Every structure is written in C-alpha cells, then in structure tokens.
Amino acid sequence: MSKGNGPEAPVLNGCLKYLEIRGIYHWRNSTGAVRIAPGRFMRFGKVGSSDILGILPGGRLLCVECKAPDRGRLSPEQKQFIADARELGALALVVRGWQELDVALQEAWYVSNGPLFEANNAATYGVKTTRQ
C-alpha cells in the first residue's frame, strides 16, 4: 500500500505541511517500480531512502522517515539509509507525527522554541494537534 492513502499518510502529510509552513526547502521522496513492458520493471528512487528529503538553513540535509503512530517498523534498508545519512552529517529522523519533527528541529536549533501551531492555525492547514 502506498503512503498516499495508507496508515502513515496523516503523518507524512502533516510533516509536509509543517515543513511548508516553516519555509524549509523539502520534497516528497518517492521510491518504487513501474511496469514498462510485460515482465519488465523500471525502479526509481533509492530503496530505503526517507519519505521526505530537504535542505536545512546552512545546507544540512534533512531526511524524515514517517511511521504510523501505533505501528510501522523500519526496514533493514531504511535503517541503513538513516545510519549512512547520519554518519555523513545529515539530520535523519524517524517521526510518528509532525510534533516530533517540530521538537527535533527545535533541539537542532533550526526553528525557534515554543509551540509552533495553535489549534486554530493548525486546523487551517489540516494538521491535527493533541490540543484540538
């Protein structure tokens, strides 16, 4: 099942909206395969790469792997991608909600401290908060 409509979709969409609102340069990083002829497939993207990639102020790579809050495990390829990215200096995260992304970016000093969204502001962008 694709993340566009699977159990991780709300996390992914919330993180994409969060990064957009914060003005952090980012993109959805899709991977998979497409049938190009009977019995022939063409792969795209790097297996195991994060759901969202971005560039933080100062040029540091951001890698965000989104997982459903109550389930979802990293594949061996995802674990390796995150480990490799961290080793090379990227901020590589596994999050189960946009709030975890917010906390991680605050701790890394990429966004200002304090609550990012008030309930009414978050609702405007379709981001669910625990305060709603």
Identify which of 86, 91, 95 has the alpha carbon closest to the alpha carbon of residue 107. 91
Give residue 94's pLDDT band: very low, low, confident or very high (50, 70, 90).
Answer: very high
Mean pLDDT of 15-37: 94
Cβ atoms 16, 97 nearer than 8 A: no
Tokens coding 132:
């709603």
State the pLDDT at residue 125.
47
Strand-pairing partners, residue 63, are 53, 92
Mean pLDDT of 85-96: 97
Residues 6+ apart with CB under 8 A from 73: 67
* 99: containing domain: 9-124
Cβ atoms 51, 81 nearer than 8 A: no
Is residue 3 situated within a structural domain?
A: no
Per the listing, tokens 């090379």 go with: 88
CATH code (residue 28): 3.40.1350.10
